[in-house]
Each structure stands twice: as structure tokens, then as C-alpha cells.
């Protein structure tokens, strides 16, 4: 007898060690196989030189007084050319960078400019360096509380991501490629590769970089425009008369009198106002001719086609300026093909050059319904200029007055505004008006969201019609195992939908920091799961999630099945110790909640008590202490059914507390359950031991596997039914 017991103990111990070693060696193999993802690239001679130069800068080669050392170190790491960092400006808050005495760019801390909460509920702090041409020199993450970035992705892979910004233009709309097949380059769009397991955090990081950089560039770069120019829609045309063009404002008209001009010089010392203040000074008309509805109606189809094909280069814009009256808009000394002295084009308060197109070579009088003008000139803008025809612009009429007999002269400008409807143009996406991060992520994951919603509907139907389902226990088991594999494979490893106690921390902090729905929407899979779990908690208790939707819980059930098939002896835990161990997970939850009140980052570190990141997020590709801990936790499940779920899981404890508000005790029981029958309370039916000796189900611990209800409905398994049938046969 003693020999047999010792042999069984030795066998169990040997199998445990073998299991640990197998999973551990498998994990080490994974780590080595993926080592290139975590390890820096082998240093080349150029990299070694760069590292040496960076080290010298950090030791004092960069002149920087009164600047935090972490900022100096980050700038030294990013910029190869900076030798001096100027004092921090107030607005926009930035540090100018110099090479000797030459300004070469600016560095700024995103936290001074933008505040986009990350997945952890706090902003990601990023140092960004741009040059004077509007190009990213580099990006470095200074600080963040994103759990996946800190404990899953790791610094090397995060740096590999941020290195993608180097050399990209601020004028490009930079997007994160969330799926490998998405993201076509072209136009104003360019894509950087995201990190699959950290999609939400990376999208927030990208928006933080882009929006903070645009704020700075708009203030420090002359004529900076980060939106691609609007393009004329040449497929739209509507026939309009001259009067209709005037009425709609598509041809601007301004009748300027002497009195209007006098008002411009009222604060000068020029001679007295005009003798005829109401007399016409000039009758001014101007319009954008590239738009077909305007250009074709004014010039005629033949001349318009000739203008667009032969006279204008791609990107150039034609502007008609026509006038009547004593004041010539071109001027008496105007030279064809030159820049006009009396006209100026302005957009966003910036002057833009226009030059005569010399359209006299074309027949401009082939549209009889257009009135005759004393001055009729078509100017063009440069293709390389910042002029955007889809945005409002201003034509300035410049007037000069002088004192008589060669005295002092003054020049004034009379602005006339012009704007066209957006329907005339193809408007590119404006990087400064980006969709919130959560909208970007939901758009990219719409298929995943649809699959998840369908599966949750199926799960709801399982519980709604469970009374019929449990009558066929083999069908129940097949459906349950299919769903468990789906939970582990799709929700867990693919969609990264493992709920965690970390998700509770922002809710706790929102009690005094304020609530932001965008923070919770940033991960659609997690958001939908939480909504469903909260609803199911009220209806059925924590078991819907813990028994059906938790990937680690599903994996533990598979391990328990493996232990059963291998005939591994289960450790016997007394009822007393079993109840004492239950309280352990509530204690862990309390410690984590208190820690999150004082420091989210510390609470996130302590939440490593959950093996979720190692098992689900990283799939065991992680540093060996985390892997070893996860292996031990899972390995204990070979000897105690769902050991982690029962005694350690703080998330399960939190859900159990919320489950106290449950409205129904819907799992069917019989009055004989517990007394005299206690069959379902044994581990043969309830592996997690959530059925008390009285026959009552402890919904705080129940995982809603439905096995006990299936036994109750089975005449050949329920002890009470079997006894009743036996009595009937005897009668």
C-alpha cells in the first residue's frame, strides 16, 4: 500500500516536472526563434560611430544650459548635427537646435502641446525633432503608462517603430498600417507599420506625434501647409450665364469709387480727397478659370481646352482679372508676361506670386454673352507655390498716392475676398482634423468586431435556450469545446481580447480625474466584451465570462482535460482550505486597486500576477522569468482544476463582486440537491467546486459550464432521477 502511494506520488511529480520542462523548453525555443525582434541589430561601423558620437554629446558636446538632462540625451540620440540647444520658447513651447550658429530645427515635448489619453488613461510623452524644411528628424518616447508597450512590446521594438518617422514630411498624412494588407501609398498619405499586439497604443502614439508636430510647424515654418492642395473636379460642368456667375459669387465683383480709395489714405498726409467722391475708380472682376463651370462659360469650350492643355502646366492655376474705369488694374507700364505691380494674391496672409499668362495669343472674345472690358488679363500661379484654389483667397488692389511736386508718397491695398464651394474640388484629408484614435481603430477592425458580435449573440442564445441544450449532454460538450477553442484562438491570440484587471484601473482613476468615453472605445474588442460582461453580470453572474469568454480560462480547461486524459492524480484540498484560498484573489484585487490610486504604473507592474500578457498577448515569447511564472501557474492546473481562476485571479474577484448585483439564480436545482443527494457537489461534476454541500450554487465562483444542469436533466446520471425510476420499476 505504501509502495503504491509512493509510486503514485513519484509518478505525479515526474509528470509535473516533465510538463514544466516541456512548456519551458518550448517557451525558450520561442524566445530564441524570435530573438531578432527583441535584440538590437548588430552594430555596423556607421552605427558604432553614431553611438560614439551620441555618447560624446551626452557627456557635454551639446551645449545646453538649464535643460533637463533627459531632453538633452534624447536630442543627442535623435539629431546627429545639433551642437547647441537654445532656451525653451514659451509659445509654441520648443527648444531651437543649432549647428554652430545655424538654426537647423526644433525639438519639442508632446506633453506641452497635446493631450490624447492612451489605453492606460494617460498621455504618451514623446520628444519630436523636426528640421527647418518640415521633415521629421526623429521621435523618441520619453514616458508612458501603456502596459503592452512596457511589458509586452519592449523598448527595442518600440524604437523600431518610432525610427520609421525619420525623413518623413510633416506635409504627409501619416497613418498606422493596422493590417498588413491595408494602406496604399499615394497623394498626401503615407503609412508606418504598427505593432499588432499594441494597436491602440500605437495609434495614440502616432496621433500624438502628428498633431503636436503640426502645431509647432504652423507657428515656426514660413508658409507651412500640411494639407495637400485641393484638386479641381474636371468632370463637373453646369452652364451658367455671366449674370448667374456674378450672382453666385463665382465671379467676384467690386465696384470701387474714389470715396473708397480716399478712405484708404485718410491717415496720411496726401492731398485732399477727390473732387468727385462717388465717381468710378475701377469696376473690378476676377475669377478662378480652372473650374470648368467658370472657365468654360467665360472663355468658351475651345479656348478653355486650349488653356488647360497648352498654356498651363500641372498644378498651375489661371486667374482672370478684368476691369473697366479710369484706373487700370494692369498699370500703364505693365509688361506682358511679368508680375503686376497693382495686383497681389494672398492666401493665409501669405503673398503668392502671379504672372501674366499672355493670353492675347488666344481668341478671348468668342463668348458674346461676356461683356467687353477695357482690361482683360489672365494670370497664373506657380505650380510650386502654396496656393490652394479650394481655400479662400484675397486679391489686393494696390493704389499709390503722392503729394504734389514730388512730395512724400503712400501705398495702400484694397483687399477683395474670393471663395468657391468645396463641391468644385477633390478635398484631401486634413491631417490636423484626424478622426479620434478609437474611430481609426474601429474602422480598421470592423470585420473582427462583426465576428465578435455574432459570437456573443450565439453565446446569448446558448444561455437563453440552455434548458433545451442541456438535455443532450454530448451536444452541449461539443458546442462548449468549439466555443472554448474560438475564445482562445480568435478572442485571445488573434484579436487580443483578453480582459484584465488593468482595464479596471482607469475606471477607478476616472472617479476623480474625469470620465472619457474615448479612452474606453480605443480597443473595440475589449470595449464590446466589457459591455457584454457587465450585462451578463447582472443577468447571470461572472461565470459567462470566466467560463466562456476568458482565453486563459479556456486554456486552463484544456489543461484540466489533458490532466484527466493522462490520469494525473488531483490534489485534494479540504473544504476549509478551499474557502480560505478563495479569499486570496480578493486580497490581491484590493492591493492592486489601492496601488492604482497612488500610481498607475506601479499597479500595472504589480498586475503581472496575471499571466495574461505572457500567455495571450506575447504567446510565451517573453523574458524567461515571466514565462516560468506562467508555466508554473498553468502547470498547477494539471493538479487543481483551474487553479489560477479559483484562487489567484484578481479580475475574477472583481467580477464576482460586481456579480453580487445579479438579478437571477437561473441554474435549475432540485429540492433533493445537497440533501440527500450531493453528487453534483463532487469534483466529478463541478470541477471548480462551486456547488456547496447544501446543493446551492455559489454564483461568485461558478463558471456556468452547465454540467450540473445537464446531470440534473439526465435520467441516467441524476441520482434522484435514477432512484425514482428504480422505485417505479419495483412498483
pLDDT in tens, 410-428: 778 888 999 999 999 988 7
Measured between alpha carbons, how far is residue 236 from residues 287, 295, 390, 426, 722 in Å?
17, 12, 15, 11, 82
Whether pLDDT at 39 is above 60: no
CB 424 within 8 A of CB 293: yes
Which stretch of 40-54, 467-481, 498-512, 525-539 has the lowest confidence by average pLDDT? 40-54
Whether pLDDT at 248 is above 90: yes
Residue 442 and residue 500 share a domain? yes
Residue 365, domain member (yes or no): yes
> Of 406, 426, 446, which marks where a domain is finished?
426
Residue 181 and residue 63 share a domain? yes
Q: What are phi and psi of 655, to 5 degrees?
A: -65, -35
Measured between alpha carbons, how far is residue 186 from residues 55, 172, 191, 391 in Å?
39, 10, 10, 22
Cis peptide before 92 (omega within 30 of 0): yes
pLDDT tens per residue, range 495-545: 888 898 887 776 666 666 655 666 678 788 999 999 999 998 888 888 899
What is the mean predicted confidence (pLDDT) over 36-49? 42
Range of the domain at 146: 45-220
When the pLDDT of each residue in the chain is averaged and rounded to a whole number, the result is: 81
User: How far apart are alpha carbons 357 and 321 in whole angstroms?
Assistant: 11
Choice between 268 and 292, residue whose per-residue pLDDT is larger: 292
Residue 445 and residue 412 share a domain? no
Choice between 136 and 369, residue whose per-residue pLDDT is larger: 136
Residue 125, domain member (yes or no): yes
Name the pLDDT band for 730 (thresholds 50, 70, 90).
low
Residue 509 and residue 416 share a domain? no
Residue 27, domain member (yes or no): no
Model-level pTM? 0.63
Strands 173-177 and 189-193: parallel
Whether pLDDT at 472 is above 90: no
Name the pLDDT band for 20 (thresholds 50, 70, 90).
very low
User: How far apart are alpha carbons 544 and 546 in whole angstroms?
Assistant: 6
User: How far apart are alpha carbons 293 and 290 in whole angstroms?
Assistant: 9
| DSSP reduced 3-state for 389 | coil
The CB density around residue 181, as the number of other CB atoms within 10 Å, is 5
**Chain-centroid distance, C-alpha 374:** 57
Residue 473 and residue 413 share a domain? no
Residue 204 and residue 249 share a domain? no
Q: Residues 573-577: contacts with CB within 8 Å, 24+ apart?
A: 573/640, 575/693
> Of 220, 241, 260, which marks where a domain is finished?
220
Assigned C-alpha cell, 113: 502641446
Residue 710 and residue 682 share a domain? yes
What is the mean predicted confidence (pLDDT) over 7-27? 44
DSSP string, 428-474: PP-GGGPPPHHHHHHHHTHHHHHHHHHHHHHHHHHHHTHHHHTTSHH
How many residues comprise the chain? 731
User: How far apart are alpha carbons 241 and 226 in whole angstroms?
Assistant: 37
Assigned C-alpha cell, 68: 533637463
Residue 492, domain member (yes or no): yes
What are residue 141's DSSP bridge partners? 126
Residue 226, domain member (yes or no): no
Assigned C-alpha cell, 191: 503609412
Cite the beta strand spans of 564-644 per DSSP E: none
User: How far apart are alpha carbons 393 and 561 in whole angstroms?
Assistant: 73
Which stretch of 8-12, 85-89, 173-177 has the lowest confidence by average pLDDT? 8-12
462: left (phi over 0), alpha (psi -120 to 50) or beta: alpha
User: How far apart are alpha carbons 387 and 456 in whole angstroms?
Assistant: 52
Q: Quick one: which of 712, 588, 711 has its CA closest to 646?
A: 588
Residue 481, domain member (yes or no): yes
Residue 134 and residue 194 share a domain? yes
Whether pLDDT at 2 is above 80: no
Number of structural domains found in the chain? 3
User: How far apart are alpha carbons 149 and 155 in whole angstroms?
Assistant: 8
> Of 370, 394, 426, which marks where a domain is finished?
426
What are residue 254's DSSP bridge partners? 284
Residue 56, domain member (yes or no): yes
Residue 544 and residue 400 share a domain? no
Residue 206 and residue 57 share a domain? yes
Q: Quick one: which of 281, 277, 261 has its CA closest to 328?
A: 281
Give me Rg for the CA atoms of the chain.
37
Residue 25, domain member (yes or no): no
User: How far apart are alpha carbons 30 and 38 in whole angstroms?
Assistant: 12
Residue 615 and residue 493 share a domain? yes
100: left (phi over 0), alpha (psi -120 to 50) or beta: left
Whether pLDDT at 466 is above 70: yes
Whether pLDDT at 31 is above 70: no
- The enclosing H or E element of 189 equals strand 189-193
CB 648 within 8 A of CB 585: yes
pLDDT tens per residue, range 664-703: 677 777 777 877 787 777 767 787 888 877 778 888 888 8
Residue 193 and residue 172 share a domain? yes
Amino acid at each position: 500500500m505504501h509502495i503504491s502511494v509512493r509510486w503514485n506520488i513519484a509518478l505525479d511529480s515526474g509528470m509535473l516536472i516533465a510538463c514544466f520542462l516541456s512548456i519551458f523548453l518550448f517557451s525558450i525555443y520561442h524566445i530564441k526563434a524570435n530573438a531578432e525582434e527583441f535584440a538590437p541589430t548588430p552594430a555596423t561601423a556607421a552605427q558604432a560611430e553614431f553611438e560614439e558620437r551620441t555618447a560624446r554629446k551626452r557627456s557635454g558636446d551639446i551645449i545646453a544650459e538649464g535643460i533637463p538632462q533627459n531632453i538633452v540625451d534624447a536630442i543627442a540620440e535623435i539629431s546627429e548635427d545639433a551642437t547647441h540647444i537654445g532656451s525653451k520658447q514659451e509659445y509654441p513651447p520648443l527648444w531651437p537646435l543649432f549647428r554652430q550658429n545655424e538654426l537647423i530645427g526644433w525639438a519639442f515635448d508632446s506633453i506641452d502641446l497635446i493631450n490624447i489619453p492612451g489605453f492606460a488613461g494617460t498621455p504618451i510623452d514623446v520628444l519630436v525633432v523636426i528640421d527647418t524644411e518640415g521633415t521629421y528628424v526623429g521621435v523618441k518616447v520619453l514616458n508612458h503608462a501603456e502596459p503592452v508597450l512596457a511589458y509586452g512590446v519592449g523598448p527595442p521594438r518600440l524604437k523600431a517603430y518610432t525610427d520609421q518617422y525619420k525623413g518623413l514630411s510633416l506635409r504627409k498624412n501619416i497613418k498606422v498600417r493596422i493590417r498588413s494588407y491595408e494602406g496604399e501609398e499615394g497623394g498626401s498619405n503615407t503609412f508606418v507599420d504598427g505593432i499588432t499586439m499594441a494597436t491602440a497604443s500605437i495609434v495614440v502614439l502616432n496621433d500624438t506625434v502628428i498633431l503636436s508636430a503640426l502645431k509647432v510647424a504652423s507657428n515656426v515654418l514660413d508658409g507651412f501647409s500640411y494639407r495637400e492642395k485641393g484638386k479641381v473636379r474636371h468632370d463637373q460642368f453646369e452652364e451658367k450665364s455671366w449674370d448667374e456667375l456674378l450672382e453666385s459669387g463665382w465671379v467676384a465683383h467690386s465696384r470701387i469709387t474714389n470715396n473708397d480709395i480716399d478712405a484708404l489714405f485718410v491717415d496720411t498726409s496726401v492731398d485732399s480727397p477727390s473732387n468727385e467722391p462717388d465717381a468710378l475708380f475701377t469696376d473690378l472682376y476676377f475669377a478662378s478659370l480652372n473650374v470648368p463651370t467658370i472657365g468654360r462659360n467665360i472663355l468658351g469650350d475651345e479656348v478653355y481646352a486650349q488653356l488647360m492643355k497648352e498654356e498651363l502646366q500641372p498644378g498651375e492655376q489661371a486667374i482672370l482679372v478684368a476691369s473697366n474705369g479710369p484706373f487700370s488694374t494692369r498699370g500703364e507700364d505693365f509688361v506682358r508676361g511679368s508680375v503686376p505691380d497693382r495686383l497681389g494674391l494672398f492666401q493665409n496672409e501669405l503673398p503668392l506670386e502671379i504672372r501674366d499668362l499672355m493670353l492675347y495669343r488666344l481668341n478671348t472674345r468668342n463668348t458674346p454673352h461676356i461683356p467687353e472690358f477695357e482690361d482683360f488679363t489672365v494670370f497664373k500661379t506657380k505650380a510650386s507655390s502654396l496656393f490652394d484654389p479650394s481655400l479662400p483667397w484675397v486679391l489686393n488692389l494696390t493704389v499709390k498716392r503722392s503729394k504734389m511736386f514730388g512730395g512724400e508718397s503712400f501705398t495702400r491695398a484694397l483687399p477683395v475676398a474670393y471663395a468657391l464651394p468645396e463641391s468644385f474640388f477633390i478635398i484631401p484629408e486634413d491631417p490636423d482634423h484626424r478622426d479620434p484614435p478609437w474611430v481609426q481603430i474601429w474602422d480598421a477592425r470592423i470585420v473582427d468586431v462583426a465576428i465578435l458580435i455574432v459570437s456573443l449573440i450565439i453565446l446569448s442564445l446558448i444561455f437563453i435556450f440552455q434548458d433545451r441544450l442541456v438535455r443532450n449532454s454530448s451536444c452541449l460538450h461539443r458546442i462548449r469545446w468549439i466555443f472554448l477553442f474560438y475564445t482562445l484562438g480568435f478572442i485571445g491570440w488573434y484579436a487580443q481580447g483578453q480582459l484584465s484587471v488593468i482595464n479596471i484601473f482607469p475606471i477607478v482613476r476616472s472617479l476623480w480625474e474625469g470620465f472619457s468615453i474615448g479612452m474606453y472605445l480605443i480597443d473595440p474588442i475589449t470595449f464590446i466584451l466589457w459591455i457584454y460582461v457587465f450585462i451578463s453580470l447582472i443577468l447571470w453572474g461572472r461565470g459567462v465570462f470566466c467560463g466562456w469568454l476568458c482565453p486563459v480560462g479556456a486554456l486552463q480547461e484544456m489543461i484540466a482535460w489533458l490532466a484527466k486524459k493522462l490520469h494525473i492524480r488531483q490534489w485534494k484540498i479540504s473544504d476549509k482550505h478551499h474557502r480560505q484560498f478563495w479569499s486570496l484573489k480578493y486580497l490581491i484585487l484590493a492591493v492592486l486597486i489601492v496601488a492604482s490610486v497612488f500610481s498607475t504604473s506601479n499597479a500595472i507592474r504589480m498586475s503581472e500576477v496575471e499571466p495574461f500578457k505572457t500567455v495571450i498577448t506575447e504567446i510565451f515569447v517573453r523574458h524567461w522569468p515571466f514565462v516560468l511564472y506562467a508555466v508554473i501557474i498553468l502547470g498547477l492546473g494539471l493538479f487543481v482544476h483551474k487553479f489560477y481562476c479559483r484562487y489567484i485571479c484578481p479580475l475574477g474577484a472583481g467580477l464576482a463582486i460586481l456579480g453580487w448585483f445579479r438579478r437571477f439564480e437561473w441554474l435549475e436545482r432540485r429540492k433533493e440537491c445537497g440533501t440527500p443527494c450531493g453528487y453534483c457537489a463532487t469534483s466529478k461534476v463541478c470541477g471548480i467546486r462551486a456547488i456547496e454541500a447544501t446543493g446551492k450554487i455559489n454564483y461568485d465562483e461558478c463558471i456556468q459550464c452547465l454540467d450540473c444542469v445537464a446531470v440534473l436533466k439526465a435520467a441516467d446520471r441524476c441520482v434522484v432521477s435514477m432512484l425514482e425510476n428504480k422505485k417505479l420499476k419495483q412498483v
